[in-house]
Amino acid sequence: MTEHSTLGAVDLGSNSFHLAIGRVVGEQIYPLDSLKETVRLGAGLTAQKQLDDDVQERALAALRRFSERLAGMPRGSVRVVGTNALRVAKNSAQFVRKAEATLGFPIEVISGREEGRLIYLGVVHSLPMAEHNRLVVDIGGGSTECIVGQKLKPRAVESLYMGCVSYTSRFFPGGKIDKKAMKNAELAARELVQTIADRFETLGWGEAVGSSGTARSLAEVMQKNGVAERGITAAGLEWLREQLLTAGDLKKLEIPGLREDRLPVIAGGTAIMSAVFAELGLEEMTVAEGALRDGVLWDLLGRVHHRDIREVTVDQFAQTHHVDLAQATRVRNLALQMLREVAPDAAEQLVSFLDWAARLHEVGMTIAHGAYHKHSAYILAFADMPGFSRLEQGYLSNLVLAQRGKLSKMRAAFDDDPRLATLAFCLRLAVIFHRSRRELKLPKLSAEARPGGYGLRIDRAWLEDHTLVWHALEEEREQWKSVGLELELEET
């Protein structure tokens, strides 16, 4: 990457879609451009958790406009993330395929905690550095992320299933507001906040910070009406609550400072923020400029500068699950050697996935030695892994699942992505050759991709001295046949 480069981030939120473009100068990102489209993806979720046709069309129209601004930007310099609405929609995968074709970039549907991590990253980069802990609250369209962290490090990250769009639709249908509906909305939100309150209060914080549209809108309304000098206050929330109840209907609500695009979701947002204040004992909250899209940019800058949070996560997982690092290193080194021979032009991302899979292929041994590859795959698929999207975790999980055992279970995955088969070939060979779990003088190996499969050349005399490996390779040949690929063994 050149000294002056451009990065792009797209946040496909449950209420709004945001695009941010920044110019990188050294270690800093300077804003160049931003776009916002109020799509209300979450409001288009049917009772069956399907994104309806109307909201899909609104979303695709917004992405067509975004694609014009992103045109010409390299694939590796843009990251697109989807949040709660895409997490819960049952037809999310089908929509994402259409959205990717429209936008021209891959879309990652991230977990709630990964969303929280990125929000925190965006917020703290927009504030002066401080020694004290900060509480960050981001009320989105379908979820609310709460984070306690110090400096650049989040210490507790939680995602609660409540948002300004979903709560307005659920408790204030048709925009009607009364005391009972407001009380029910606040109680429902308080019940969720209660689940995290003890842990957060134990960590403590010296400053509460709100981010994104709901927090910014609440602060703007309070300042415009003189009920708060800055930010959001408990007294200001009570005043706004009374304004909503007096109006009784969002169509009749007239409050100076309330933007038109925030009007349809202000009731749900107010109820949730009131619950957060009540359960966490807040009196005031400042509002930061940084948000999820900014965190995505900073995270992307880290990847470009080889400070990928995913590397930290892999190291932490290996430590947490007591991975035998010597064995993992042996398997990693041989697997990467095989990949260099089989696919010398493999993309950097594929090399990284094979590297991570080799380092974590035995995390499941903390559960049981038997079928450990299945336990490993399960952990990698469902654990919170900072920096990884759901799709990336699924890919890593599939690769680790393929390290041993019958390959027939992988046929559909290999058909979907033949590159996964190549990575699995390299990983399986490395596991076979290092089954003894000790430093072994390996023979000269030569692997290559061939039409319809792979080839492996190996010294016959060495094989005769290592009959277990020889037998495993013969079995391996049969396994690759089960997925329609040939493994040709040549003894030299």
Is residue 340 included in any domain, yes or no?
A: yes
Closest CA to 396 of 364, 432, 425, 355: 355
Are residue 366 and residue 470 in the same domain, yes or no?
A: yes
CA distances to 200, 341, 408, 479 from 483, rounded to whole Å, are 50, 22, 6, 7
Is residue 116 included in any domain, yes or no?
A: no
Are residue 104 and residue 132 in the same domain, yes or no?
A: no
pLDDT at 4: 46
Low-confidence ranges of the chain (pLDDT < 70): 1-4, 304, 306
pLDDT at 408: 93
The C-alpha atoms of residue 50 and residue 134 are separated, in whole angstroms, by 37
pLDDT at 444: 86
Closest CA to 216 of 149, 152, 164: 164
Query: In this structure, what CATH number is given to the domain that contains residue 206?
Result: 3.30.420.150
pLDDT at 45: 92
Are residue 106 and residue 159 in the same domain, yes or no?
A: no
Residue that finishes a domain, picked among 288, 321, 344 = 288
The answer to whether the pTM exceeds 0.85 is no
Q: What is the pLDDT of residues 379-392, one digit of tens each?
A: 999 998 888 888 89
Are residue 341 and residue 415 in the same domain, yes or no?
A: yes
pLDDT at 176: 96
Are residue 199 and residue 335 in the same domain, yes or no?
A: no
Report the side by side order of strands in the sheet with 446-450.
Answer: 446-450, 453-458, 486-491
How many structural domains comprise the chain? 3
pLDDT at 429: 96
Is residue 118 included in any domain, yes or no?
A: no
Residue that finishes a domain, picked among 302, 331, 348 = 302
Is residue 117 included in any domain, yes or no?
A: no
Is residue 472 included in any domain, yes or no?
A: yes
The C-alpha atoms of residue 166 and residue 43 are separated, in whole angstroms, by 7
Are residue 62 and residue 144 in the same domain, yes or no?
A: no
pLDDT at 384: 84
pLDDT at 394: 93
Query: In this structure, what CATH number is given to the domain that contains residue 357?
Result: 1.10.3210.10
pLDDT at 1: 44
Are residue 332 and residue 480 in the same domain, yes or no?
A: yes
Are residue 97 and residue 152 in the same domain, yes or no?
A: no
The C-alpha atoms of residue 259 and residue 26 are separated, in whole angstroms, by 37
Are residue 412 and residue 377 in the same domain, yes or no?
A: yes
CA distances to 21, 434, 456 from 486, rounded to whole Å, are 47, 22, 11
The C-alpha atoms of residue 405 and residue 421 are separated, in whole angstroms, by 14
Is residue 355 included in any domain, yes or no?
A: yes
Amino acid at position 44, single letter: G
Could you tell me the residue range of the domain that residue 223 belongs to? Answer: 127-288
Are residue 54 and residue 150 in the same domain, yes or no?
A: no
Are residue 95 and residue 142 in the same domain, yes or no?
A: no
Is residue 282 included in any domain, yes or no?
A: yes
Is residue 153 included in any domain, yes or no?
A: yes
pLDDT at 96: 96
Query: In this structure, what CATH number is given to the domain that contains residue 104?
Result: 3.30.420.40
Are residue 298 and residue 314 in the same domain, yes or no?
A: no
Residue that finishes a domain, picked among 256, 288, 320 = 288
